[in-house]
Homo-oligomer: A and B are copies of this chain.
């Protein structure tokens, strides 16, 4: 309530109360003032009402909500359903203008402020989680894959002759499609097996550059966050090569903002070599619904402007709204807590899975470079001739989602390219395994459920198999399971 409005209430309640009310009012008013001045994530999260207030106030600055506004165009932000209006805080104009997804809209001042503010808070957040030298970022209302595609399209105009993208293999479909859909030919660099880990074949990258010629390479497309036993790419070495050969370097940091190790890798890479942009998912790092991604950069140059202006047309403001709400609600303190919990869960899950592996005479793969996920072999299942993929569907129907069971033999064709050992990031990984992640937002109790559920399903599978010997029984009690291959294909390709 504006101070002057509260004063008017002095004819309704005693003025001594008004004075007390002004105190309360000022406390809140200051919080908003500081946010708008500093444009940083507040230390402590805001309560929901404050956040809705701010959104409401911004909304009132958009022309479709301006009292007395009249619309003579073809897009005037009218909303038919009051449900839709309410859930979108009556923010109807989206973000950006036709030529630039970060541009300010004259018709939508509030939406524009919201989007800019969200971007500033996001940059603050990115720095806080470890990329201290990050200089700028933009929020793109598309998921990670399409945002990588947008980066590649933006690079095209800068390197019109380039045809190839050099890509250390990561078996995630949208990563691959981001390159083929944008019209480029991926040069797949197979990973090297080091101990149990699958790591970047740096010499392979160099060789590929030499083979096709640096000018013909659009960029190197590397990855930080991935499922064990693959580990984050050797970003330092790659960025050095990129610098040396004057090749752009785009990093897929999909869910790396939650890991200080991933962020450290990026920060280091940017110091010693070339990193043009790193791309991350909003939903995977900030616990918002799917739909947005963040492109960030360590440079002052205008590559991000180029990316923004490659986006043709306006875009949904939903991701920015969800992010702004979440960052204000979380505060720096909330993010700290989440990061700390994640780290603890990672250790705890590792410890418990190690015990489980011992019990089943399996091995928890040693993949210490992977700070988020871990994998346990499934050799004992293979030994008793179980179909390991069946484990995947059993876990799924028991409401354990996201665990990926990876067989050794899968082949998959994507956009004309046949991958061997698909899902394992390798043509011939020596084990089949199950891999699970300790991701941000996970609860400690979930770690326990994971371990118990895998244990139970493995035991059950083996038992059935031994029962079935000589009886030629088909398994009936899993007939309601979602088809194996279907689930697997989800698991391994995301």
Chain B residue numbers with a CB within 8 Å of A321 are 87
* Cβ-neighbour of A98 out of B36, B69, B93, B493 (below 8 A): B493
Number of copies: 4
Whether A25 is near chain B, meaning CB under 8 Å from some CB there, is yes
Whether the pair A82, B80 counts as a contact (CB closer than 8 A) is: no
Query: Of the candidates B29, B400, B487, which one forms a contact with A2 in the assembled complex, judged by CB atoms under 8 Å apart?
Result: B29
Asked whether any CB of chain B lies closer than 8 Å to the CB of A223, the reply is no
Q: Distance in Å from the Cβ of A428 to the closest Cβ of chain B?
A: 24
List which A20-34 residues lie within 8 A (CB) of chain B: 20-21, 23-25, 27-29, 31-33
Docked-complex contact B183 and A156, CB < 8 angstroms: yes
- With both chains docked as a complex, state the minimum distance between the C-beta of A282 and any C-beta of chain B, in angstroms: 10
How many positions in chain A have a CB within 8 Å of any CB in the partner chain?
167
Of B88, B227, B480, the contact of A322 (CB 8 Å cutoff): B88
CB distance from A402 to the nearest CB of B (A): 2
B60 touches A24 (CB 8 A): yes
On whether A27 and B67 interact (CB within 8 A), knowing A52-B83, A74-B373, A75-B284, the answer reads: yes
Contact in complex: A74, B439 (CB < 8 Å): yes
B residues less than 8 Å from A283 (CB atoms):
75, 77, 92, 94
A72 CB contact (under 8 Å) in B75, B77, B172, B401: B401
Are B69 and A401 closer than 8 Å at their CB atoms?
A: yes
CB distance from A120 to the nearest CB of B (A): 8
* A193 contacts chain B at the CB level, 8 A cutoff: no
Bound CA–CA A104/B259 (angstroms): 30
Closest 6 CB pairs of A and B: A73-B402, A291-B316, A94-B290, A145-B313, A145-B312, A98-B174
B28 close to A60 (CB less than 8 A): yes
The 0/1 profile, CB within 8 Å of B marked 1, for residues 102-131 of chain A is 001111011011001100100000000000
